[in-house]
Structure 1
C-alpha cells in the first residue's frame, strides 16, 4: 500500500498521528454471513511522529484471537503549505518492515507466529532492545565494530566512557579528545575488558 495524505479536517477530531491510527485499526464490521470481523489496538507507540508501532488483536464475533504487529511510516507536518499535515503508509510484521525499533511492551503482547518475515522482524526488534539496554560505567573502555571518522577528521575505534551527571561523553584514549556518537546505544560496540585499580581506603 502507498502513502495516504490528509488535511486536519480528515482526522476526525484526532490531535495526533497515534490517536488517529489507534482509531483506524480498532473496528468491528459485519460480514455477509452474519458474523463480525475486526481489530482492537491493545497498545501503540509513535515516537517522534515518525513510526507507529501497534499490537493489534484479531476479533471474530467479538472473540479475541491472535495478536500481531502493525507498523506505519508516519509524516506529521502541521505547517504543511498545502494543508496535508498527516500522511502514513501501513504494513504489518509479515511484510518484514525495515523499521525495527518497536517498544518491548508491544512486542510482549504479540502471540506466537510461524511467519518467517515476522519472526525475523521480532528478532531484530529484540536485538535492538538488548543493545539499548547495555549499561556502561564511568571509566569503561568501549570498542566500535568499525572505526568511525568524525567531523574534525579524527578516526577512532576505542574510547573511554566519562559520565557527567546524566551526560556521557567518549574520550579518545590517545588524543584525549572528546566525542559524541549519535544513536550510540543502537550501534555495534563492545566493552573492552580492563583491570580497574580501586582506591585504597585506610581505616
Structure 2
C-alpha cells in the first residue's frame, strides 16, 4: 500500500497520528454467508516522535479473540504544512518485514507465536534494538565503533571515551581530548574496550 495523505479535517476529530491510527485499526465487520463476522482491536500502540506507529492488534472472529499480530505505519506529521495535508501514513504488517525495528517491548510481548519467517525476523531485529539500548556504558568507559566517525571539526575517531553528565553522554578521544556528541549512540555498533588495570605499587 502507498502513502495516504490528509488534512486535519479528515482525521475525524483525532488530534494526533496515534489517536487516528488506533481508531483506524479498531473496527468490526458484519458476517456474510461467505465470511463470518470479524473485528480487530488495538491492544497497545505507540508512535514515538510521530515518526513510526507500532501496534499489537488482535483479530476477533464471531466474537471470539484470535491471534495478535503487529502493524507498523510510517508517519509524516506536519501540523504547519503549507498545503494543509498535515498527516500521511503508510501501513505494513509484520509479515511484510518492515525496515523499522524500534517496537516497544510492551507491544512485542502481546504478540502471538508465529511460524512466519519474515515476521520472526522482524521481531528478532526489534529485540536486538532493545538489547542495544539497554547496554550499560559506565562513565569513563572506552568504546570502539565498527567504523571511524567523522565530526564537524574534520576529525575522525573510532576509539572514544565516555563521559556521563546526568542523562547526557559526551565523548572524547581516548586520551581525553575534545567534547563530541554522537546521535543515537546506543543504536550504533560499538564494543567496550577492556583496558588493562595497572595495580598501584605500595611501599611499606
Of 144-153 and 126-135, more deviation after overlay is shown by 144-153
Q: Residue by residue, what CA displacement relative to the aligned partner does 1:55-96 show, whole Å, maximum 9, x if unpaired?
A: 000110111111100000111111112211111111100000
- Give the drift of 1:160: 1.0
- Give the drift of 1:197: 6.9
SS at match of 2:111: coil
Q: Distance in 1 between matches of 2:29 and 2:103?
A: 28
Does residue 1:120 correspond to 2:121, yes or no? Answer: yes
> Match for residue 4 of structure 1?
4
> Match for residue 141 of structure 1?
142
Alignment gaps of 5+ in structure 1: none
Q: Distance in 2 between matches of 1:37 and 1:152?
A: 59
After superposition, residues 99-114 of structure 1 pair within 5 angstroms as 99-114=100-115
Residue-pair matches, total: 199
> Match for residue 56 of structure 1?
57
**TM-score if structure 2 supplies the norm length?**
0.93
> Match for residue 35 of structure 1?
36
Of 165-174 and 42-51, more deviation after overlay is shown by 165-174
SS at match of 1:135: coil
**TM-score if structure 1 supplies the norm length?**
0.93
> Match for residue 67 of structure 2?
66
Q: Distance in 2 between matches of 1:179 and 1:198?
A: 31
- Give the drift of 1:31: 2.2
- Give the drift of 1:196: 5.0
Q: CA RMSD in A?
A: 1.6
Q: Distance in 2 between matches of 1:86 and 1:31?
A: 32
Q: Distance in 2 between matches of 1:186 and 1:132?
A: 6
> Match for residue 26 of structure 2?
26
